[in-house]
Structure 1
């Protein structure tokens, strides 16, 4: 009996230890989503600044290429919405690998693939493992040129070489702004007394040709590629209102992606749950300048807007494409957490691309993307969704 009782006690102890480990892991995950905790981890980042309007906060570094790392709608104790590649910071590689550092707002330059790709060298195979990030995109620090309580502007001169071996000499300027509640109310068409927690911020980017010669389509062009990496949950779905019916959706990573979206009432719904690596694209003829996402679990509605006039060529970022100027305006990337494959990407991305133009010397293109995270009860979120996305959240399909 003593031996039996001893065995039972051992099992109890092991179960207790396992429970404590699980609890500690859960607490750590919760802490990592806390803005104050994220801010503490970011203290090693050069040029880190916090812009604040009431309880709304964003963590920014101009030196890190005008990047918004993360945001909160509830001060230091609020959720940290942005995904950050903490491994690079821990390994002290963040200053030489900025392109893969993540954050809720960062800038790349398209096109990713194709004849004029900016992520592959000339005459090299264009597969995922062959991607080579431009040196300036990985390590060039931006300099502050102006600031106020609610915005900061940074700029840098960069050199980008495409797969056609054409050298672009550019100046890039980034203005990061946090929005006050009055501006947010106007943008979201909500009354001032509505009970919500919200943070809104915008990233404006200018890309100028500072070479002495004009860019031409036969050598390749550039576009501004705005990317926002956002932590996700298992029930999150992206919502994209369409300008006109979309017969088929461009999927980047395989046939399995086709089970992860539905088109209903001229609206695209896409699983953005970090359960399967994927990416989709929306061409200009189907694009409106708004998209969003919703998680009932987190009482969280995200709205993203961007400037869009369909006034130029959109560069093709699709692998192995043969039409370099037949690209997308919107891309949504869905990450994946899969230890067996070495994936640890618990986020999805809102991406929008500017048009490209044959810029003369000192001419520039401009792109702006604005993000709003709104936490509230279902009734309030549903009202906002109906006004802005044209969607009753009750009618999001289950798939």
Structure 2
């Protein structure tokens, strides 16, 4: 979940959400039928693999599967919010909907930073408080235009204006292409053979922002970043794993930032010499982050009950202006943010329900110091593999540097 915004969302959760919030346990075909009842869905298919994309929700990938007929739905979908739909100013909104519509979805487009003097979620003069926090419409309620579609890809576009906390205006063109990857693509991109009885769905989103204004974007007045977040169904048997570079903290930054919502306890975070494990069970709220210097451009998770190994990668690129910082305060280091994050949802306090529950894997682009008509791209690829441990273990070892057993038994 985005930094500290979960605190905001959960303040009003009891007034907005019914008991049935998560679609965990639903199959893909059931979720697809549900989505089609409420909005336009762009369905991409390649053999048995499928991805459901919703233009009205900023072209987010709502869910995917490796078996379109009877396979699981791999993204978390917030049915009550989708059923309510977007409410007009004349309709009664819950406190939560005044600030964000949490539709869910396993891969969505956002822009950073969230907090700080260059925040996009706090207008000029606003205090860094819940009552004055609001998700920009461009990444919350505005639809993206579908420009082109094939059987396995879809291209979207959106144009918007944004004003940050310091009063800087950004005129932004957003281009987003969602493309299914076949087994040959995945094998080549990951550098591993994929064989046996392995089932797979994989896709990439090619995300681009362009400075469509007449003035350069400069660090002194605030920069934007592309921020991709994915919500997944949690389970007691799901653990996240993120490999990282070991080394001196003065050069690479902290091994892990685990203080977003207070320090994560040892029973939810285990840090090794070159990898960390983090629970994705949806039972305790917490978030961790890895600096760009430590990131290897990859994160993963394993659902031992469903025998699904999830891999997320992104295009590692030079970051001369650093990564935007989303902390809710006036910052000494506004470009010392994280490149990769993971979030585990849970109850904010005794007696109150979680937002989902769900867990997230997130990646961010560098801060974009762009001249007029200049663009920055951030490409994220998501791979879901289903098979026996014998099928999945070589993939985990090669990509994440740890065995499947190590992930499964980390806690």
Match of 1:314 among 323, 329, 336: 323
Q: How many residues align?
A: 372
* Residues 208, 30 of structure 1: alpha-carbon distance in 2 compared, 3 angstrom cutoff: closer
Q: Name the counterpart of 1:114.
A: 116
Contact 1:120 1:126 in 2 (8 A): yes
Is residue 66–residue 142 contact of structure 1 (8 Å, CA) maintained in 2? yes
Structure 1 residues 17-166: aligned runs within 5 Å = 32-93=25-86, 100-128=102-130, 130-166=132-168
The one of 249, 260, 263 aligned to 2:256: 249
Contact 2:323 / 2:339 at 8 angstroms: preserved in 1?
yes
Looking at structure 2, the residues matched to 270 and 293 of structure 1 have their Cα atoms a distance apart, in angstroms, of 9
Structure 2: any 5+ residue segments left out of the alignment?
Answer: 1-20, 90-96
Pairing 1:218-229 to 2, within 5 Å after superposition: 218-229=220-231
Q: 1:398: which partner in 2?
A: 410
Q: Which has the larger radius of gyration?
A: 1
Task: Please state how far the C-alpha of 1:29 moved relative to its aligned partner.
Answer: 8.3
CA change 1:128–1:233 in 2 (3 A) is: farther
After superposition, the Cα gap between the structure-2 partners of 1:383 and 1:43, relative to the gap in structure 1 and judged at 3 Å, is: same
Give the drift of 1:390: 1.1
Q: Which runs of 5+ in 1 are unaligned?
A: 1-27
Tell me the equivalent position of 1:387. Answer: 398
Give the TM-score normalised by structure 2: 0.85
Secondary structure class of the residue paired with 1:204: strand
What are the residue-to-residue correspondences of 1:224-373 with 2, within 5 Å? 224-245=226-247, 247-251=254-258, 252-257=260-265, 259-312=267-320, 313-320=322-329, 321-336=331-346, 340-373=351-384
Residue 133 (structure 1) shift: 1.3
Change (3 A) 1:143 1:30: closer
Shift in alpha-carbon separation, 1:188–1:137, aligned structure 2, 3 A: closer
Cα gap change, 1:31/1:364 in structure 2, threshold over 3 Å: closer, same or farther?
closer
How far the C-alpha of 1:203 sits from its partner, in A, is 0.8
Q: Which has the higher contact order (CA 8 A, sep 6+)?
A: 2
CA distance in 1, matches of 2:155, 2:23: 32
Superposition deviation, residue 248 in structure 1: 4.3
Could you report, residue by residue, the CA deviation over 1:179-233 in whole angstroms, capped at 9, with x for unpaired residues?
1122123334444542111100111100001111111111101000011111111
The 1:95/1:67 distance shift into structure 2, 3 A limit, reads: farther
Q: Does 1:376 align with 2:387?
A: yes
Could you say what secondary structure the match of 1:380 adopts? helix
Other-structure match for 2:188: 186
Question: Does structure 1 retain, via aligned residues, the 8 Å contact 2:29–2:70?
Answer: yes
Cα separation, 1, equivalents of 2:101 and 2:229: 11
Partner of 1:20: none
The 1:256–1:227 alpha-carbon spacing in structure 2 relative to 1, beyond 3 Å, is closer
SS in 2 for 1:284: coil
Q: Which has the higher helix share?
A: 1
TM superposition shift of 1:33: 2.2
Contact map agreement 1:32 1:38 (CA 8 A) in 2? no
Shift in CA distance, 300/128, structure 1 to aligned 2, threshold 3 Å: farther
Output one character per residue of 1:89-117: Cα deviation in whole Å (capped at 9) or x when no partner. 11123899675212111111101111111
Query: Which SS does the other structure have where 2:395 is aligned?
Result: helix
- The TM-score with structure 1 as length reference comes to 0.87
Is the alpha carbon distance of 1:258 and 1:129 closer, same or farther for their aligned partners in structure 2, counting shifts above 3 Å? farther
Q: What SS class does the counterpart of residue 60 from structure 1 fall into?
A: strand
CA distance in 2, matches of 1:152, 1:29: 27
Greater per-residue strand proportion:
1
Aligned-partner Cα distance in 2 for 1:69–1:48: 9
